[in-house]
C-alpha cells in the first residue's frame, strides 16, 4: 500500500507554509458577531476564580449531555468499542466526565490570552519533565505523542514557556474567527503552526532545525493514508507516520498526556520515557506500539479524552463512503433513535 503522507506538499509559495494568522476584514461580517461575543465572554471568564468557573462547568455538563444527541451517540459508540466490559451506565459516566472536563477547559480558554505567564504556569503540574531535560541535554528535539485530550493547548503553552520551541500541524476549524484566534494565540506563545495541507516535509525541516513537534496519533485520516492497527482490540485506521518521522528527524518519540486535574483545579501533564529501540523494520509493529501507548494512557484517565471524535470512522471492511457513524447520525437528524 502506498502512503501519501510524505508526498510532496503543494505550497502556495516557496516560503515556509506556516498558518496565516493575519486578520481579515471578512471576520467582521455580521455572521461572525456571535463568535466575537462568545470570545469576549471567554476572555471575561479568564478573571473568574477557577473554583467558581469549575462549578459552573459541573452544573452545565448534565445539560450538555442531554442535548448533544449526535456527539453522545458517537461517544457511546466509541466507548462501547473500547470498554465492552463496562456497563452502559459506566460508559455514560465516562462520557459525562469528558463533557465536564471539556467545559472546564473551554471556560478557562481565555486565560491563555488574558492572564500572565506567572499565573498560568502556577496552574501547571508537570510529571516526568526529566525525560524532556534528558533529550535537551543530548541536543535533540522531541516528537510528543499527544492524544486528543481537552487541555492539549495547555501542554503546548507549558512547553514553550519552559523554553522548548514547538511546532504542530493543524486542520482549519469550520469557524474562521475561532480558527484565527486559536492559531494566532499558539503562534504568539511561540509555537509554529502549519496547516495540514502544507505536507510533512516542512515539519521535518523544522524538527531538524531544533523545534519539537506535537504529533496527534489518534486521528482518522481515511483509508488511503492509513493502515489498520489494533486500538482497544479494534482495527483502527491509523497513520503510520511516527516511525518515519523519528527515523528521518533524529528526534525521539515521547508520550504525553494532557489532563485537567478536577480535584486540584489545575492542568496536569504526564510525560513518559521515550520509546526505546524505535523505529524497527516493522511499520505495523511500530504503529501498534504507538496505539498501545495511547490505549494505556486512556485507560488510566478515560474521562480526559475527546470521545466525541470519529476515531473509528473508516472501517476495514467498509464499502462506499459512509463511515461507522453515518447511519446513526442520519437517523438522529430525522428525530429517530440512532439504532434502527
User: What is the C-alpha separation between 173 and 191, in angstroms, rounded?
Assistant: 18
Helix, strand or coil, per DSSP, at residue 85? coil
pLDDT-based confidence at residue 268 (cuts at 50, 70, 90): very high
- Please compute the mean of the pLDDT values over residues 293-311 and round it to a whole number: 98
Whose CA is closest to 72, among 84, 49, 88, 50?
A: 88
Distance of CA 125 to the CA centre of its chain: 19
Confidence band of 3 (pLDDT split at 50, 70, 90): very low
Question: In this predicted structure, what is the pLDDT of residue 18?
Answer: 75
Helical spans, DSSP H, in the chain:
33-45, 50-67, 69-82, 88-107, 111-114, 117-122, 129-137, 152-161, 176-188, 201-208, 242-249, 283-300, 326-333
DSSP state of 25: G
Predicted local distance difference test score (pLDDT) of residue 202? 83
Q: How confident is the model at residue 8 (pLDDT cuts 50, 70, 90)?
A: very low
CA 41 to chain centre: 24
Is residue 10 scored above 50 in pLDDT? no
The predicted pLDDT at position 16 comes to 60
Cα distance between residue 57 and residue 125, in whole Å: 21
Q: Who contacts 122 (Cβ-Cβ below 8 Å, separation ≥6)?
A: none
| Per-residue pLDDT, 188 | 78
pLDDT tens sequence across 20-32: 778 899 999 999 9
Instruction: Give the span between the Cα atoms of 121 and 111, in whole angstroms.
Output: 11
This prediction's pTM: 0.90
- Residue 5: its pLDDT value, please? 40
Percent of the chain residues topping a pLDDT of 70: 95
Is the CB of residue 274 less than 8 Å from the CB of residue 138? Answer: no
Residue 238: closest CA among 6, 79, 3: 3
Residue 7, pLDDT score = 37
Does 103 have pLDDT greater than 90? yes
Q: How far apart are CA 127 and CA 256, in angstroms?
A: 10
Average pLDDT over residues 278-301: 98
- Kindly report, residue by residue over 206-255, the tens digit of the pLDDT: 999 999 999 999 989 888 889 999 999 999 999 999 999 999 999 999 99
SS percent in the chain: helix, strand, coil, step 5 = 50, 15, 35
- Runs of H (alpha helix) within 115-241: 117-122, 129-137, 152-161, 176-188, 201-208
Query: Predicted confidence band at 286 (pLDDT cuts at 50, 70, 90)?
Result: very high
Amino acid at each position: 500500500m502506498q502512503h501519501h503522507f510524505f508526498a510532496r506538499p503543494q505550497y502556495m509559495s516557496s516560503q515556509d507554509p506556516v498558518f496565516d494568522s493575519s486578520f481579515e476584514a471578512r471576520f467582521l461580517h455580521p455572521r461572525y458577531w456571535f463568535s466575537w461575543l462568545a470570545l469576549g465572554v471567554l476572555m471575561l471568564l479568564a478573571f473568574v476564580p477557577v473554583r467558581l468557573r469549575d462549578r459552573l462547568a459541573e452544573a452545565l455538563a448534565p445539560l450538555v449531555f442531554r442535548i448533544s444527541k449526535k456527539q453522545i451517540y458517537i461517544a457511546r459508540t466509541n466507548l462501547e468499542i473500547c470498554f465492552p466490559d463496562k456497563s452502559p451506565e459506566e460508559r455514560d459516566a465516562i462520557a459525562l466526565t469528558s463533557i465536564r472536563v471539556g467545559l472546564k477547559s473551554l471556560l478557562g480558554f481565555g486565560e491563555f490570552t488574558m492572564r500572565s505567564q506567572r499565573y498560568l504556569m502556577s496552574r501547571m503540574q508537570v510529571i516526568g519533565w526529566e525525560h524532556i531535560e534528558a533529550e535537551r541535554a543530548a541536543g535533540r528535539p522531541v516528537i510528543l505523542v499527544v492524544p486528543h485530550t481537552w487541555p492539549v493547548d495547555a501542554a503546548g503553552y507549558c512547553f514553550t514557556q519552559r523554553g522548548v520551541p514547538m511546532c504542530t500541524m493543524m486542520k482549519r476549524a469550520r469557524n474562521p474567527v475561532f480558527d484565527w484566534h486559536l492559531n494566532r494565540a499558539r503562534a504568539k506563545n511561540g509555537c509554529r503552526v502549519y496547516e495540514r495541507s502544507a505536507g510533512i516535509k516542512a515539519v521535518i525541516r523544522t524538527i531538524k532545525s531544533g523545534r519539537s513537534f506535537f504529533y496527534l496519533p489518534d486521528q482518522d485520516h481515511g483509508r488511503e493514508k492509513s493502515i489498520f492497527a489494533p486500538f482497544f482490540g479494534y482495527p483502527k485506521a491509523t497513520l503510520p507516520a511516527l516511525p518515519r518521522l523519528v527515523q528521518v528527524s533524529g528526534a525521539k518519540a515521547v508520550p504525553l498526556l494532557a489532563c485537567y486535574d478536577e480535584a486540584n483545579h489545575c492542568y496536569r501533564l504526564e510525560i513518559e520515557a521515550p520509546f526505546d529501540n524505535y523505529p524497527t523494520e516493522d511499520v505495523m509493529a511500530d504503529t501498534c506500539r504507538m496505539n498501545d501507548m495511547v490505549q494505556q494512557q486512556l485507560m488510566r484517565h478515560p474521562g480526559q479524552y475527546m470521545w466525541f471524535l470519529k476515531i473509528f470512522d473508516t472501517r476495514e471492511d467498509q464499502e462506499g463512503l459512509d463511515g461507522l457513524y453515518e447511519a446513526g447520525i442520519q437517523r438522529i437528524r430525522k428525530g429517530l433513535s440512532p439504532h434502527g
